[in-house]
Amino acid sequence: MAHTRTPSNFYKPLAIGAPDPYRAQPVRLERMIHFVPPHIEKIRAKIPEIIAEADVVLGNLEDAIAADAKEAARAGFIEMARENEFGGTGLWTRINCLNSPWALDDIMEIVPAAGNKLNVIMLPKVEGPWDIHYLDQLLAQLEAANGIARPIGIHAILETAQGVNNIEDIAGASPRMHGMSLGPADLAASRGMKTTRVGGGHPGYGVLADRDGSNKDDTRAFYQQDLWHFTIGRMVDACLHFGLKPFYGPFGDFSDADACEAQFRNAYLQGCLGAWSLHPSQLAIAKKVFSPDPDEVAFAKRIIAAMPDGTGAVMIDGKMQDDATWKQARVIVDLATLVAEKDPDRAALYDL
Ligand code: GLV
Ligand code: MG
């Protein structure tokens, strides 16, 4: 406790003239965080089309951008921020990690040039609350000096063993915290997991069905398991505990749309609000997975209609409903309502 700000100070701006921090994260639809490499001119030319399709557009400056393209990516991001109107679509950037030679210039150049358009900075390889405090203070100073009207959020990537161990301290480090994404590639390396994949399962990770005595010809079933189940659950609990938004991160095998969809759906069912899309095909997958299923929405609406004040117990189609399922139904209907505001086709499917 001695090392945390008191409740009365927690929501004060960290620099005189910086905007007040949000007390709750703004309600926004963020089904996918669509990554673009901003140094590529051909991609920058497509930003208006991407804005129309994606909930969040993110200019990536970190991994996957070669060392000799870092400055061009930063300049390209500033250009794409300046030259486009984003409307209800979020504009984020993933800066380089704090121990790299590029992070400080990323922050110092982008905030003055594009801070009034930037919603969120994604911070990679967060190890503990000290990383958040550093960026928090620096952003407040830059916001104050540059007349930035809204606080810029921080979204941490959960991708080191130390970061996972410090997850609650990271989540509670600042009111600037927007949420977290699972980074399965770096996390696998940091933990010493024996996989070369970016997200998804592994054929070796699973459980073998019992021997059944009569079975002499070795036909025991093997059930592959989700390698990320534990960490996603841990992340969802930490995020929701602090009022933040949890996301699944990247899925590297663009050729396997089914496996991508399955990984995204596991994350969605466990509580995540979105995932990264690294390829246009994944944008469509995320849109499908992170928008509630119309049948589920219809059933949730029946629960709410049957229990107008959210209390009591009723039966619907042989299934018991009570205050808790009413709350589950609210989660689905609130999400459907948010989707419907943006997406007329789905609004019709949801009858909203
Ligand atoms: C994402 O950055 C990852 O490392 O998976
Ligand atoms: Mg990473």
Q: Give residue-wise pLDDT tens across range 217-248.
A: 667 899 999 999 999 999 999 999 999 999 99
How far is the centre of ligand 1, averaged over its atoms, from the C-alpha of 203 (Å)? 20
Establish whether residue 163 lines the binding site of ligand 1, counting it when its CB lies within 6 angstroms of any ligand atom. Answer: no
Q: Which ligand is nearest to the CA of 247?
A: 1
- Cβ neighbours for 23, distance < 8 A, ≥ 6 positions apart: 11, 175
Please name which ligand lies nearest the alpha carbon of 188.
Answer: 1
Closest CA to 18 of 95, 133, 131, 115: 115
Does ligand 1 come within 6 angstroms of the Cβ of 185? yes
Instruction: Return the residue whose CA atom lies nearest to atom 2 of ligand 1.
Output: 183
The finding on whether 250 has its CB within 6 A of some atom of ligand 1 is: yes
Query: Domains in the chain, please, with CATH?
Result: 7-210+222-290 (3.20.20.60), 293-352 (no CATH)
Top mutation candidate among 126, 198, 247, 251 for ligand 1, by most atoms within 8 Å of CB: 198
From the CB of 157, is ligand 1 less than 6 Å away? yes
Tell me, using a 6 A CB cutoff, whether residue 259 lines ligand 1.
no
38 in contact with ligand 1, CB cutoff 6 A: no
Q: What is the pLDDT of residue 217?
A: 63
The reported pTM is 0.96
Buried b (16+ CB within 10 A) or exposed e, 25-58: beebbbbbbbbbbbbeeeebeebeebbeebbbbb
Span 103-129, pLDDT tens digits: 999 999 999 999 999 999 999 999 999
User: Does 249 contact ligand 1 (Cβ within 6 A)?
Assistant: yes
Average of pLDDT values for 49-63?
A: 98
Please, what is the end-to-end C-alpha distance for the chain in angstroms?
46
Ligand 1 contact via 184 beta carbon (within 6 Å): yes
CA–centroid distance, 252 to ligand 1, in Å, is 10
CA–CA separation, 223 vs 218, rounded Å? 15
In the reported structure, the alpha carbon of residue 28 is separated from the centroid of ligand 2 by a whole-number distance in angstroms of: 24
DSSP state of 151: P
What are 289-298's pLDDT values in tens digits?
999 999 999 9
pLDDT over threshold 80, residue 1: no
Contact call for residues 235 and 167 (beta carbons, < 8 A): yes
What integer pLDDT is reported at residue 20 of this predicted model? Answer: 97
Percent of the chain with pLDDT over 70: 97
Instruction: Report the residue among 58, 155, 187 best suited for mutation to probe ligand 1: largest number of ligand atoms under 8 A from its CB.
Output: 187
